């Protein structure tokens, strides 16, 4: 039997307790703007979900300068460049020299752990294992969402409601908030699918090279990334329906090695593989990133292929724009920045979409490709790596444009 909902009243109701939702919650709390975060998954699940780990300097600053944690500086690894490898040759792009910037390799689940700890330390209201079932009254001054407590032993009939001034959908790529409003309400989704996926592994092995290697090869793309001195993260392009059970460690190592082989004799350092996952991706944007008093942020509004390492950075950039708008709203009553939120955020979103698409198409090989396309992509890589302007263009995009 349906019960009367238990109501919480707050200023900003945030659906989604991943990095974007928690960072926004943290920033708002620092300004005394009370907020409630609900997240469907439990803490453990998110803490153990491996995702891309490159942070722009601005994203790092959002964690350190606002008092989340300095762990990103001590545990994270600062990187001064990337290695673009094609035709078996390495081309190192040195970011400090090109654009006076660096990036930091720090896994997204670590970012989550730090943010969740900071919210707990500061007495934030973050409710895990809370599944949102409805968003209501989005076009009024009191948008609401309803949720159920899905933790073990909770009463499944009990309904909770959060009433707020502003509702934020930061609930990831399968966003409930986004899907609750559709094209009938004046929204448009822009998307493309790719005919390939990434096979991701974690291995107990030493680093194979000081910088991340992005490799284009006739066999397809490979990315040699890292996690620590003893754990490495690597990916290779595979079919979207690839089955991890078909891949023994030996087969994986030989596939990865083929993709970085070259006359310089470069050899990957191998070790036991303890995690194998196929990652599908697409390019997606919802416009506008708002419906009434509900604002979308991060993956809820847009996703990019991982090749440009932009996902989390773009989410943090949204959070910065939205936080500025909310701070202005609560300090002056002006809605101007809230009105501008979607347009402001989308400018950066489309730049990142372009960069991620460009990196993806330049570095991957399509099984059905016209050989002209394959050769053209190599011509593009030659153009970028042989010109200082080309290198700077890539370096500027990879390390991140200034925040709005």
Q: How far is the CB of 301 from ligand PHB (least distance, A)?
A: 20
Q: Which of 99, 222, 304, 309 binds ligand PHB (CB under 6 A)?
A: 309
Q: How far is the CB of 198 from ligand PHB (least distance, A)?
A: 8
Tell me whether residue 218 is exposed, middle or buried, using C-beta atoms within 10 angstroms of its C-beta: 0 to 12, 13 to 18, 19 or more. Answer: exposed
Token reading at 325: 């708008």
Q: Which is nearer to ligand PHB, 93 or 322 (CB)?
A: 93
Query: Is 194 known to be catalytic?
Result: no
Q: How far is the CB of 53 from ligand PHB (least distance, A)?
A: 4
Q: Which is nearer to ligand PHB, 103 or 180 (CB)?
A: 103
Q: How far is CA 62 from the centre of its chain?
A: 15
Residue 306, interface with ligand PHB (CB under 6 A)? yes
Query: Is 306 known to be catalytic?
Result: yes
Q: How far is the CB of 227 from ligand PHB (least distance, A)?
A: 7
Residue 216, interface with ligand PHB (CB under 6 A)? no
Q: Which is nearer to ligand PHB, 109 or 270 (CB)?
A: 109
Element (H, E) at 286: strand 282-287
Q: Which is nearer to ligand PHB, 232 or 324 (CB)?
A: 232
Residue 258 has φ and ψ, to the nearest 5°, of: -55, -35
Residue 85, interface with ligand PHB (CB under 6 A)? no
Tell me the window of 30-38, 48-56, 71-79, 140-148 that interacts with ligand PHB (CB under 6 A).
48-56
Instruction: Work out whether strand 12-15 and strand 81-86 pair parallel, antiparallel, or are unpaired.
Output: unpaired
Query: Is 214 known to be catalytic?
Result: yes
Of 291, 302, 306, 341, the catalytic one is 306
Within 8 A by CB and 6+ apart from 8, the residues are 36, 125, 160, 161, 162, 163
* Rg from Cα positions in the chain: 22
Q: Which of 299, 83, 105 is nearest to 212 (CA)?
A: 83
Size of the residue set binding ligand PHB (CB under 6 A): 10
Q: Which of 237, 307, 360, 399 binds ligand PHB (CB under 6 A)?
A: 307
Q: How far is the CB of 54 from ligand PHB (least distance, A)?
A: 5
Query: Is 310 known to be catalytic?
Result: yes
Residue 53, interface with ligand PHB (CB under 6 A)? yes
- What's the rounded Cα separation, in Å, for the pair 274 and 276? 7
Q: Which is nearer to ligand PHB, 22 or 212 (CB)?
A: 212
Token reading at 322: 């939205």
Q: DSSP characters for 199-214?
A: EEEEEE---SSSSEEE
- What's the rounded Cα separation, in Å, for the pair 59 and 362? 26
Of 106, 147, 194, 214, the catalytic one is 214
- What's the rounded Cα separation, in Å, for the pair 240 and 365? 14
Q: How far is the CB of 312 from ligand PHB (least distance, A)?
A: 10
* SS3 label, residue 98: helix
- Judge whether 95 and 102 are in contact, CB under 8 Å: yes
Partner residues linked to 200 by β-bridges: 235, 277
Residue 54, interface with ligand PHB (CB under 6 A)? yes
Tell me the window of 19-27, 301-309, 364-372, 387-395 that interacts with ligand PHB (CB under 6 A).
301-309
Residue 225, interface with ligand PHB (CB under 6 A)? yes
Tell me the window of 12-20, 51-59, 95-103, 260-268 that interacts with ligand PHB (CB under 6 A).
51-59
- What's the rounded Cα separation, in Å, for the pair 52 and 59? 14
Of 26, 310, 341, 364, the catalytic one is 310
Tell me the window of 176-184, 291-299, 304-312, 383-391 that interacts with ligand PHB (CB under 6 A).
304-312
Q: How far is CA 125 from the centre of its chain?
A: 23
Partner residues linked to 294 by β-bridges: 167, 291
Q: How far is the CB of 289 from ligand PHB (least distance, A)?
A: 23
Tell me the window of 11-19, 92-100, 245-253, 302-310 that interacts with ligand PHB (CB under 6 A).
302-310
User: What does DSSP assign to residue 3?
Assistant: P
* SS3 label, residue 227: coil
Partner residues linked to 125 by β-bridges: 36
Point out the residues that are catalytic. 79, 214, 306, 310, 398
Residues that bind ligand PHB in the complex, under the rule CB under 6 A: 52-54, 212, 223, 225, 233, 306-307, 309
């Amino acid at each position: 039997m349906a019960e009367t909902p238990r109501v919480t009243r707050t200023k900003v109701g945030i659906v989604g307790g991943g990095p974007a939702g928690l960072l926004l919650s943290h920033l708002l709390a620092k300004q005394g703007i009370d907020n409630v975060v609900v997240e469907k998954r439990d803490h453990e699940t998110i803490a153990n979900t491996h995702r891309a780990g490159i942070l722009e300097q601005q994203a790092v600053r959002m964690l350190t300068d606002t008092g989340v944690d300095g762990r990103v500086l001590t545990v994270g690894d600062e990187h001064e460049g990337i290695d673009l490898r094609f035709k078996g040759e390495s081309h190192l792009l040195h970011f400090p020299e090109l654009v006076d910037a660096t990036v930091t390799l720090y896994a997204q689940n670590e970012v989550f752990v730090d943010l969740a700890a900071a919210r707990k330390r500061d007495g934030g209201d973050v409710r895990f294992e809370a599944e949102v079932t409805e968003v209501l009254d989005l076009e009024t001054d009191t948008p609401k969402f309803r949720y159920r407590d899905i933790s073990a032993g909770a009463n499944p009939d009990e309904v909770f409601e959060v009433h707020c001034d502003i509702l934020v959908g930061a609930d990831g790529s399968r966003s409930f908030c986004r899907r609750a409003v559709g094209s009938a309400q004046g929204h448009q989704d822009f998307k493309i699918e790719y005919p390939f996926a990434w096979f991701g592994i974690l291995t107990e092995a030493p680093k194979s090279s000081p910088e991340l290697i992005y490799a284009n090869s006739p066999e397809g793309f490979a990315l040699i990334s890292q996690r620590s001195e003893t754990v490495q993260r690597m990916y290779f392009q595979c079919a979207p329906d690839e089955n991890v059970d078909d891949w023994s460690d030996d087969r994986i190592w030989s596939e990865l090695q083929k993709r970085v082989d070259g006359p310089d004799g470069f050899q990957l350092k191998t070790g036991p593989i303890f995690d194998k996952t196929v990652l599908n991706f697409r390019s997606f944007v919802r416009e506008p990133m708002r419906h009434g008093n509900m604002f979308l942020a991060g993956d809820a509004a847009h996703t990019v292929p991982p090749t440009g390492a932009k996902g989390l950075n773009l989410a943090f950039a949204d959070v910065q724009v939205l936080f500025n708008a909310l701070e202005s709203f609560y300090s002056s009553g002006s809605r101007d920045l809230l009105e501008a939120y979607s347009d402001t955020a989308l400018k950066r979103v489309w730049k990142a979409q372009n960069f991620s698409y460009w990196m993806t198409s330049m570095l991957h090989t399509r099984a059905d490709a016209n050989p002209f396309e394959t050769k053209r992509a190599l011509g593009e890589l030659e153009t970028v790596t042989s010109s200082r302007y080309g290198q700077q263009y890539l370096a500027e995009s990879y390390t991140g444009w200034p925040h709005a």
